[in-house]
Amino acid sequence: MLSTVAGGSETLELRDVPIPDPAAGELRVRVLACAINYPDVLIIEDRYQFKPPRPFSPGVELCGVVDEIGKGVEGWHRGDVLLATCSHGGLAEYCVVAAGNAFRLPANKDPAEGAALLLTYATALHALRDRAALKPDETLLVLGAAGGVGLAAIEVGKAMGARVVAAVSSEGKALAAAQAGADRTLVYPLDFSDRAVAKSLADGFKSAVGPHGAHVVFDPVGGDYAEPALRSIAWEGRYLVLGFTAGIPRVPLNLALLKSCDIRGVFWGAFAQNEPARHRQHVTQLLRWWEEGLIRPRIDRVYALVEGGHALARLASRSAIGKVVVSIADAKPVADR
């Protein structure tokens, strides 16, 4: 599935291209499943910080079978099943990945779930462990809690011993957040045309997190939700900035002064690149939690490769609950499932 011109999901085209050869330090993978993430939506629109030359396939996380091994790579054999991240290229039948970004799929685990694990859960663990230093019994407020990274934050937060409050945009998403382990859920409005709505939401956040406030706010949403959430933060709380699906907010910094709180950015991709040893430790922890049943990726919908554009549109609509996945091998259209 190729991006040949900048634009939305409707611009993607299904074409045959040569099978890539792995360079030194790389593995060629026959892709079984590719998870769709918000950067995939941005990258085909030329709104992401990384702009690969066209034509290119989006897709930054996948599960697949090792098909060819590049020079200098040790510890892998043809036929091994792996999880991996890449800069792009996962939404295809074959993809090359850096061997250092690959991890073995645990036995008896679903490739679709495996494809959906690394990006969101590794982001959540880096955010909550490294950036927030989340402690047991602290209160964690998660915005956008029914999306892939939001549900991951709920499960990781619970695994770390936190009390989790999940904020979502519908009752159906609130149910999903509760099923993921949230101790309390809050449905927030979609329309902020009236200033009183923001005031009411701030009061709702304060009531949900309790009298001491949220020790950590996990925010992949931004927009008009950021200020009300910041008003609910605890003394010396930590506000984590992960993304802006609702737009880049303008936050009054006097709130940070009054609460003596920190606003901390979370850039997992740069962390994984700059500190690969710590990143691998995180993934080892996540795989252990997955096998123990403490975390499990929730799949919203599985598409066939020919429907890759629809998969990106599903994610861009913000209607997905959990991860959207494209099944590459033996996939059937959604209508046939």
217 and 127 in a common domain: yes
251 and 142 in a common domain: yes
99 and 41 in a common domain: yes
CA-based nearest residue to 27, from 74, 87, 61: 74
Domain around 169 = 121-269
pLDDT value at residue 332: 39
CA distances from 301 to 154, 210, 320, 321, 337 (A): 20, 35, 8, 9, 10
135 and 250 in a common domain: yes
Domain annotation covers residue 284: no
259 and 138 in a common domain: yes
**Based on the structure, what is the number of domains in the chain?**
2
Provide the residue-wise pLDDT of the chain in tens; the chain has 337 residues: 999 999 999 999 999 999 999 999 999 999 999 999 989 999 999 998 889 999 999 999 999 999 999 999 999 999 999 999 999 999 999 999 999 999 999 999 999 999 999 999 999 999 999 999 999 999 999 999 999 999 999 999 999 999 999 999 999 999 999 999 999 999 998 877 778 888 899 999 999 999 999 999 999 999 999 999 999 999 999 999 999 988 999 999 999 999 999 999 999 999 999 999 999 999 999 999 999 999 999 999 999 999 999 999 999 998 899 999 999 975 333 333 3
206 and 131 in a common domain: yes
pLDDT value at residue 336: 35
251 and 136 in a common domain: yes
126 and 52 in a common domain: no
Question: Dihedral sign, CA of 34, 37, 39, 44?
Answer: positive
- Alpha-helical regions (H) of the chain: 38-44, 111-115, 118-125, 148-159, 171-179, 195-209, 226-231, 254-259, 268-274, 276-292, 308-316
Domain annotation covers residue 46: yes
33 and 67 in a common domain: yes
126 and 212 in a common domain: yes
DSSP labels, 241-254: E---TT------TH
Domain annotation covers residue 286: no
pLDDT value at residue 330: 55
112 and 6 in a common domain: yes
328 and 239 in a common domain: no
Domain annotation covers residue 33: yes
- Give the domain CATH number at 182: 3.40.50.720
Q: Single out the residue in 222, 252, 269 at which a domain terminates.
A: 269
Domain annotation covers residue 189: yes
Backbone phi and psi for residue 164, each to the nearest 5 degrees, phi listed first: -115, 130
Domain annotation covers residue 292: no
Domain annotation covers residue 222: yes
Q: Which two tokens stand for residue 116?
A: 């959906």
- Give the domain CATH number at 18: 3.90.180.10
Domain annotation covers residue 63: yes
